[in-house]
Structure 1
């Protein structure tokens, strides 16, 4: 049976605006979370979502309906994030001032299932340390780790999104985990 998103993409390609709106509803939050986790900026994540859907809309005729739609849209979103990170990298300065708490405590704003405030604080601090460790990963490991563990994509899906062999994905994941393990052993 044909995937619903593939069917919607075909309809949208033929000019069905309602079908495109459904695609947006299906993927806007997923792309936002991907972008937010990669860029740590709500504003930039919102821009990436808009850019992603603009590219999807303008390139629907290029979509190969024999591949998963999710892989295609994640590839677009991930590439836009990577481009944004590359552009941003050149503008960092060691002398630049950071706004209070900028990009350091976003996990603590997530609703918690923990019962006590103490448990919530410990969880928040642990997650903040993990987030900092992920942030410090070299770019080539960071995107793979985020796609695998935060977006829950399979190795094959990550391979498709990043246009790399699965063996490369496995190697980068292993090295990324080793980097995180060593970093977190010192911190936690």
Structure 2
């Protein structure tokens, strides 16, 4: 960790709200995007991100620096989302929205080539939606590792720390999750093909 970040953490531990806001500014977009991918809609993602950041502020005194601050924060975000998913396990509702732009201007979205034809853009959006829907259909454990590894690009080490699991378990879980995702997409494509 950089000295500047360490100073902000120490001030945040003393209850300095301004230092805390500076500390989390660079992490808010990724925190929100993890929540969006896990929960599937803008409103729930915003609520979960806010709830997680409140938890981070309230428990920052317990941060010992054994992992990076970002990993610790993303662990709280992920656990907050998992709690929400468990609450609504019996009511699987998924709505597809584009993530909203965050304060620092970053947006997490798939970029469509501006030179693409209307048909190509439509097909790309349909493909993205199909993958999003398939991810939402995955069991909780599989969904989490796919989002953290394949969508957010976190390292096995970071995911291991976030989920408090050995790296070997994370790797095998990711492998199973990818196979499950492939099966869901393949089955949906077969189901949607017109029967001759």
TM (norm. structure 1) is 0.85
1:154 corresponds in structure 2 to: 155
Larger mean CA deviation between 8-17 and 67-76 belongs to: 8-17
Distance of 1:158 and 1:9 partners within structure 2? 22
Give 1:47-126 correspondences, 5 Å limit: 47-90=47-90, 92=91, 103-104=95-96, 106=98, 110=109, 112-114=111-113, 115-116=115-116, 117-126=118-127
Contact 2:96 2:129 survives alignment (8 Å) = yes
Distance of 2:167 and 2:97 partners within structure 1? 33
Moved over 3 A (4+): 3-7, 104-107, 110-113
**Distance apart, 1:15 and its partner CA:** 3.3
Give the root-mean-square deviation of aligned CA atoms.
Answer: 2.3
**Distance apart, 1:105 and its partner CA:** 5.5
**Distance apart, 1:128 and its partner CA:** 1.0
Distance of 1:133 and 1:3 partners within structure 2? 42
What count of residue pairs does the alignment treat as equivalent? 179
Larger mean CA deviation between 23-32 and 166-175 belongs to: 23-32
Deviations 1:139-158 (A, max 9, x none): 11110111111121101100
Contact 1:6 1:68 survives alignment (8 Å) = no
Uncovered stretches (5+) of structure 1, i.e. residues with no partner: none
Larger mean CA deviation between 110-119 and 35-44 belongs to: 110-119
Deviations 1:77-134 (A, max 9, x none): 00000000000113x28xxxx7xxx614648xx5733122222111111111111111
Distance of 2:15 and 2:80 partners within structure 1? 25
Distance of 2:173 and 2:3 partners within structure 1? 30
Larger mean CA deviation between 54-63 and 24-33 belongs to: 24-33
Contact 1:11 1:19 survives alignment (8 Å) = yes
1:132 corresponds in structure 2 to: 133
Uncovered stretches (5+) of structure 2, i.e. residues with no partner: 100-108, 191-196
Report the secondary structure of 1:112's partner residue. coil
2:9 corresponds in structure 1 to: 9
